[in-house]
Every structure is written in C-alpha cells, then in structure tokens.
Amino acid sequence: MTQLENEIQNLKEELIDLWLLVNLQLEKAQQSLFSMDNDLAREIIANEKRVNSYELKLDRDCENVFALFNPVAMDLRFVLAVLKINSNLERTGDIAAGIAKFVKEIDEDFDKNLLEVSNVKEMFEVSIFMMSNVLEAFEKEDTKLARKIFKQDETLDKIKKKANGVIAKYCKEQPDNIEQALYLLSIIQKLERVGDHAKNMAEETIFYIEAKVLKHKSNKKK
C-alpha cells in the first residue's frame, strides 16, 4: 500500500466513524423526543462537540492530502467527496442537537394524538433509514444502493407536505396547544433536511465512484 493509499484509507475510516456517531445522535434524538428524556437530550447536545471536532479534523486531513500528495482521478474525487460528505454530516449532527434542545425546552409530554397524526415517527424512521443506507452505499461503493436514496427522499418530502396540513388543522382545533404544534413542525422541517443531506451524500458517493455529477440534474427536475 502506497502512502497515498494509506491516507485515503485513513480518511475513509475517519469519515465512517463520524457517520456512525451522527447516525447514533439522530437515533437518540428520536428516543429523547418520544420519551421526553431530558438526560438523553443533554447527552446529545454534549456530543455535538465531538461531531464538530471530527469535522474539523477531517477537513484538515483532506487539506493535508491535497498539499502533500496532489491526488488525481478517483483519489481526487474521493477526497472531494469526503469534504462534502463531512460538511453534510456536521449539519445533520446540528439537526439532532437542535431536536434535543427542543426536548429540553418543552415543559410537558407531547400530545400523543399530535405525534400520531403528524407522522413524525415515520419521518424519523425514514430519515434514519436513509442515513444508514447511504453509509452502507459509501462503505461498499454501491451506487445502485446510493440511487435508492433519491426515492426515499421523495417519500420524506411527501410525509412532510402532508404533515404541514395536518398540523395547521390541529392548531385550529387545539388553539391552546399551538406551541407544541409549532415545535413539532420545526422538528419535521429538520427531518426533511436530514433527507436532503442524505441525498447530497448519495450524490457525492456516486460522483467519486462513477465520475458522474448528479446535483444539477436533480435540481432541474424540481
């Protein structure tokens, strides 16, 4: 193994470590919301510092690879993809911490009926599934699996669109509980962004493996 190959492998391992941490943060955010567990919420917020530290180190390591080895072809695409995936993971970590902060701010349990009709649980499950799938696609260099993320993102968008109407109706029928409804709407919007980040990471995975840029193509369809 050459020194560059060794550095590439180290970058991949570092990125996967961050990915696993962020996925765990998202899973814990779901648990903290449905159990209103303030201790778990505090743990998620504290772990956000670890996410940020990982991101900064990965950025520096990518810069070092550029400076010392001048990678080309697939190696160059890989390092560029790592930089962009790293940024999307950090933002996803921010989302998990943001949900945890909402849990800490709310004084009482969410209305179970509101949780059910908004389909927030399904949104969590789809977004966590997407994050897990795109990690597997990256690890296995499986572009077929990476492309499945795009369809899953469409599913997430449909759930979110339906939830907007459901929550608006709930606010009219339960005006005393508008604060909870608005908190939940914010959480749903955050989960939609998780899907966007997962889709971005799928695009970067395909880019480094196949040398195909999909971002502008997917934007044109919207």
d(CA 46, CA 40): 10
DSSP 7-64: HHHHHHHHHHHHHHHHHHHHHHHHHHHHHT-HHHHHHHHHHHHHHHHHHHHHHHHHHH
Q: What is the pLDDT of residue 220?
A: 47
- Widest distance between CA atoms in the chain: 66
Q: What tokens were used for 6?
A: 């060794």
Strands (E), the chain: none
Q: What is the residue extent of each domain of the chain? A: 3-220
Per-residue pLDDT of the chain (222 residues; tens, 9 = 90+): 799 999 999 999 999 999 999 999 999 999 999 999 999 999 999 999 999 999 999 999 999 999 999 999 999 999 999 999 999 999 999 999 999 999 999 878 888 899 999 999 999 999 999 999 999 999 999 999 999 999 999 999 999 999 999 999 999 999 999 999 999 999 999 999 999 999 999 999 999 999 987 764 555 444
Topology of domain 3-220 in CATH is Methane Monooxygenase Hydroxylase; Chain G, domain 1 (1.20.58)
Where b means 16+ CB within 10 Å and e means fewer, 144-156 reads ebbeebbebbeeb
CB 211 within 8 A of CB 77: yes
Nearby residues of 169 by Cβ (< 8 Å), 6 or more positions away: none
pLDDT of residue 1: 79
Rounded-to-integer distance, Cα 76 and Cα 72, Å: 5
pLDDT of residue 39: 97
Are 37 and 81 within 8 A, CB to CB?
Answer: no
Distance of alpha carbon 85 from alpha carbon 138, whole angstroms? 10
Instruction: Specify the pLDDT at position 170.
Output: 94
| pTM exceeds 0.85 | yes
Give the pLDDT score at 214: 74
Question: Quick one: which of 129, 134, 127, 132 has its CA closest to 204?
Answer: 134
